[in-house]
Chains A and B, each alone.
Chain A
Amino acid sequence: MTGTIDHILHFAGPEAVDLAALGVVASEGEPPVTLADLQNRAEAGVFEGSAVAARRVYVIAADAVHDADGLEVEPRVEAPGIWLAVRSIAFLANLPGLVAASDAERRKAGQPFVLYINPDYPLETLRKRITPMWMGTDYDLSGLSSTDIVEA
Chain B
Amino acid sequence: MGVPRPLAIMSAGTSDFGIRPLISCDCSARAIATQYPFWMRRFQFAADFIKGHALIGGRRVTMAEIDARHTRLSVRRAADTSGVSREFSDGAMALTDRGFDSREPWTNLVPNPFNPRAWTIVNTNNTAEAGNFLGMSSAVRVASQGLTYGRVQSLLDVPLVVGQVYSARALYAAGSSPQMRSGIRSAAESNRASLVTGPVGAAAIAGATTMVTINAVRNISYGAGLYEVQYTFTAHEPINVTFEIGPNIGTPGQDVVAIAGQVTPTPYQMPWGAGSVDGDSLVISAADAGLVFNPVADAKTLVMVWRGTATESSVTFAHLLQARSSAGNLFLQYRKDQNYRLDLNSGSGTSTRGLAGALGSEQAFVVAWRPDGTWLTVDATGIFTGSRPMFNGVLDGISVGCSATDGRGRVNGTHKLAAIGAFDSFSTADAQALYDVVAR
Contact = CB atoms under 8 A, between A and B. Distances in A.
Contact of A29 (B161, B242, B265, B317): B317
Contact of A85 (B111, B188, B276): B276
A132 B76 CA distance: 15
B315 A42 contact: no
A36 B314 CA distance: 13
A119 interface: no
Contact of A30 (B77, B155, B281, B317): B317
B155 A44 contact: no
Given A43-B105, A132-B108, A136-B75, A28 B405 contact: yes
A16 interface: no
A87 B274 CA distance: 16
A71 B190 contact: yes
A94 interface: no
A124 interface: no
B273 A40 contact: no
Contacts, number: 145
Interface residues of B, number: 52
A67 to B, nearest CB: 9
B122 A69 contact: yes
Contacts of A87: 73-74, 278
B153 A70 contact: yes
Interface in A54-104: 55, 58, 63-64, 66, 68-72, 75-76, 85, 87-89
Contacts of A69: 122-123, 190
A55 B315 CA distance: 17
Interface in B30-49: none
B157 interface: yes
B266 A132 contact: no
Contacts of B107: 40-42, 55, 132
Contact of A41 (B153, B276, B405): B276
Contacts of B279: 41-42, 44, 53
Contacts of B96: none
A70 B190 contact: yes
A147 B130 CA distance: 36
B341 interface: no
Nearest to B186: A72
A80 to B, nearest CB: 15
B373 interface: no
Contact of A135 (B275, B314, B316, B408): B275
A52 B185 CA distance: 35
A8 B406 CA distance: 24
Interface string B257-288: 00000000110000001111111010000000
Interface in B150-209: 151, 153, 155, 157-158, 161, 164, 185, 187-190
Contacts of A30: 315-317, 408-409
Nearest to A36: B161
A27 B277 contact: no
Given A42-B276, A51-B71, A68 B105 contact: no
Contact of B314 (A41, A72, A88, A132): A41
Interface of A: 4, 26-31, 36, 39-44, 46, 51-53, 55, 58, 63-64, 66, 68-72, 75-76, 85, 87-89, 131-137
Leading 5 A-B pairs by shortest Cβ distance: A27-B408, A27-B409, A70-B122, A132-B275, A136-B75
Given A44-B105, A135-B75, 16 more contacts: A27-B315, A27-B406, A28-B409, A30-B317, A41-B104, A41-B279, A44-B281, A51-B407, A52-B73, A53-B105, A69-B123, A87-B73, A131-B275, A132-B109, A132-B158, A134-B275
